[in-house]
Amino acid sequence: MSSKTTFGLTFYINRTKEKKNGECPVMLRININGVRVALQLKRYLKPENWDTDKYRMAGRTDEARVFNEYIEAIKMKANKKYNELISMYDDVSPQMLRDEILGVNTAKPRMLIEIWNEHIEGLKKLIGKENSYATYQKYKKANEYMQSFLQKHYKVDDVSVKQIDHRMISEFLMFIKTEKNYAFNSAIKMLQKLKKIITISLHNGWITKDPFIKISFALKHVERCYLTEVELKKLMDYNSRIERINRVRDFFVFSCFTGLAYIDIKQLKRHEIEENESGFWIRTHRQKTGNRANIPILEVPMNIINKYCVLDALNADDPILPILSNQKMNAYLKELTDLCGISKELTFHIARHTFATTVTMMNGVPIESVSKMLGHKNMASTQIYARIVDQKVGEDMEILSRKLGTRFTLTH
């Protein structure tokens, strides 16, 4: 045991929980290295019967003797359990000791995958309320990767959360990058799921040290892919004899002119489209962040809406567009880009980038307005697109410089 370890027990009565008969619950406060927890001892006393100096019942009556023997027995049990825990574990939290005293056996090391599965189940119950299905899926996928990692590199199905250290975290990150072929940023985002489980464990007192200290989650700057005006027009002008290809084109273009992500289009309902003196608006909350997005519907997306539904005939909760699954959309998009002669590898999310750059900012829409339409939490998220636009301006000016050449010179 480290010389710096501090351990203390304090008995007291909780005057804020006084019952109608004037009695207050007797409590035990456990203090280990400045971290405190309290537990109720299922005994009650009136304040005038409590000795605040000796931390026990006042008086010499038989009742006081029995009561104080109980207090002493709890104190002895707490010290005994603490010494047992110290002999088994490097770090003992007050929560562990509390649970051992109460006999709920949570001082037994909690297992990583077990905790992770509990978190996933909680996310599943809150889909559509506090989190999205996509968030649930990401934690589930990360959990599957961790299980594969443990089985392959440690030959076990689960480990104590106390065993997670800097080395194991680094090995898991390498596993994601090399064996699961994740790019740097995607691998870091996957690692953040493990960090969440560690944070839960810290908050519950199952571990006392954060193994993620000094591990950076900084992402590398990545240029956002988007369609230029020429590429977007090429896509819009293409007409296929295959109905599914035309649908994919329409829904992709709809996102290019509204900035809505796939899930937001899929869940877009009739009541989220409003009409006022300036025309039709989409007023929705982004599924990913919960932030409100207010988007005026331009002519192109309005034509697409009218192509697939009659607004006045829909009920409030009817979907607007019969969009395909995200997997199919991205698969058909690859087919569509080949047919259109576009060299970029498109995913549905690139439509959102195209809205932010080609459709809005490059046509003079202020960054503040773009940020509101995109439903960003803060301006920093939108600044990424501003940098892209600045880059485009720089490239255009470089072309202009070459065209001008020496045609304009200043006479000294």
Give the pLDDT confidence of 51-61 residue by residue, as tens digits: 989 999 999 99
Cα–Cα distance between 319 and 216 in angstroms, integer?
42
pLDDT of residue 327: 84
Domain hosting residue 176, numbered range: 112-203
Residue 350, domain member (yes or no): yes
10 Å CB burial of residue 76 (0-12, 13-18, 19+) is exposed
Mean pLDDT lowest for which of 49-53, 162-166, 235-239, 282-286?
282-286
Residue 244 has pLDDT above 80, yes or no: yes
Residue that the structure tokens 């090399």 belong to: 178
Whichever domain contains 256, its CATH number is 1.10.443.10
Mean pLDDT lowest among 17-31, 43-57, 82-96, 154-168? 82-96
Identify the CA nearest to 25 among candidates 9, 38, 35: 38
Residues 277, 312 within the same domain: yes
Q: Which residues of 384-411 are buried (b: 16+ CB within 10 A; e: fewer)?
A: bbbebbeebeeeeeeeeeeeeeeeeeee
Report the amino acid identity of residue 204. N
Judged against a pLDDT cut of 50, whether residue 210 lies above it is answered with: yes
**Residue 192 in this model has a pLDDT that exceeds 90:** yes
Assess whether 234 and 380 both reside in one domain. yes
Note the pLDDT of residue 286: 75
Residue 380: CB atoms within 10 A of its CB come to 9
Confidence of residue 395 (pLDDT cuts 50, 70, 90): low
Number of domains the chain contains: 3
Both 178 and 283 in one domain: the answer is: no
Alpha helices, DSSP H, located in 309-348: 326-340
Residue 111 identity (one-letter amino acid): M
Q: pLDDT value at position 57?
A: 93
Structural domain contains residue 213 = no
The Cα–Cα gap between 311 and 297 comes to: 13
Per mean pLDDT, which of 171-175, 237-241, 362-366 is the most reliable? 171-175
% of the chain at pLDDT higher than 90? 41
Same-domain pairing of 198 and 309: no
Same domain, 129 and 182: yes
211 in any annotated domain = no
For residue 135 the two structure tokens come to: 């968030």
* CA–CA distance, 79 with 92 (Å, rounded to integer): 13
Report the alpha-carbon angle 114-119-120, nearest 5: 95
pTM here is 0.54
| 79, 152: one domain | no
Q: For 293-321, what is each residue's pLDDT tens digit? A: 888 899 999 999 999 999 999 999 999 99
Q: Which of 51, 69, 102 is the last residue of a domain?
A: 102
330 in a domain, yes or no?
Answer: yes
Q: Where are the beta strands (DSSP E) in 33-148?
A: 35-45, 50-51, 56-57
Task: Determine, yes or no, domain membership for 223.
Answer: no
pLDDT band for 35, please (50, 70, 90 cuts): confident
Q: Please say if the pLDDT value at position 212 is more than 90.
A: yes
Domain membership of residue 153 (yes or no) is yes
17 lies in the same domain as 95? yes
Q: Does one domain contain both 235 and 342?
A: yes
Residue 169 and residue 72 in one domain: no
Q: Ramachandran region of residue 318, left (φ > 0), alpha (ψ -120 to 50) or beta?
A: beta
Q: Three-state DSSP class for 10?
A: strand
Which is more confident, 125 or 293? 125
For residues 392 and 255, membership in a common domain is answered with: yes
pLDDT of 26 > 60? The answer is yes
Give the C-alpha distances (Å, rounded to integers) separating 379 from 211, 330, 367, 375: 32, 28, 8, 10
| Whole-angstrom distance, CA of residue 137 vs CA of residue 282 | 27
Same domain, 153 and 176: yes
State whether 284 and 394 are in the same domain: yes
